Amino acid sequence: MFLTGSNARELTEQTSTAIRSVQRRVVASRVEQVFSVDATRELQECPVPILYLAGKRDRLVGARVTRRLRSARPELRVVTLDAPHLVLQSRPEEAAAAVVEFVESLAR
């Protein structure tokens, strides 16, 4: 539910199935890495424009993370969609439109 939101039964079931297909130690390691990684330097050194798709209802990665990303990379383009953590899976059309608009803006 933290990944998919409370009203997304099919997506929740699909996500649960996918997570259950991975060994527990692998899932635990991935979660540990999420909480321990610091890629600030890499983010600052990245030579290309960056788009960050944020979920307005994301219970895992909230506004605090967006502020930290913007602090490290002020020109970061942030698009916030009315979505939980799994933005691409829950709002694919809106996410795709945001990516297209971002790419097109780079060509101007």
Tell me the pLDDT tens digit for each residue of 32-57. Answer: 887 888 899 999 999 999 999 999 98
Q: Flag whether 86 is in a domain.
A: yes
**Neighbour count for residue 26 (Cβ, 10 Å):** 9
Banded model confidence at residue 60, pLDDT cuts 50, 70, 90: confident
Provide the domain count of the chain.
Answer: 1
- In a domain, residue 1? The reply is no
43 inside domain: yes
Do 87 and 97 meet the contact criterion of CB atoms below 8 Å apart? no
Q: Look at residue 76 and tell me if it is in a domain.
A: yes
**Could you give the CA distance from residue 48 to residue 103 in angstroms, rounded to a whole number?**
12
Which DSSP letter does residue 99 get?
Answer: H
This prediction has a pTM of 0.79
Q: Does 45 reside within a domain?
A: yes
Q: Which domain holds residue 61?
A: 9-107
Domain membership of residue 68 (yes or no) is yes
Position 4 in a domain: no
Give the integer Cα–Cα distance in Å for 87 and 25: 25
Residue 1 has pLDDT above 60, yes or no: no
**CATH number of the domain within which 103 lies:** 3.40.50.1820
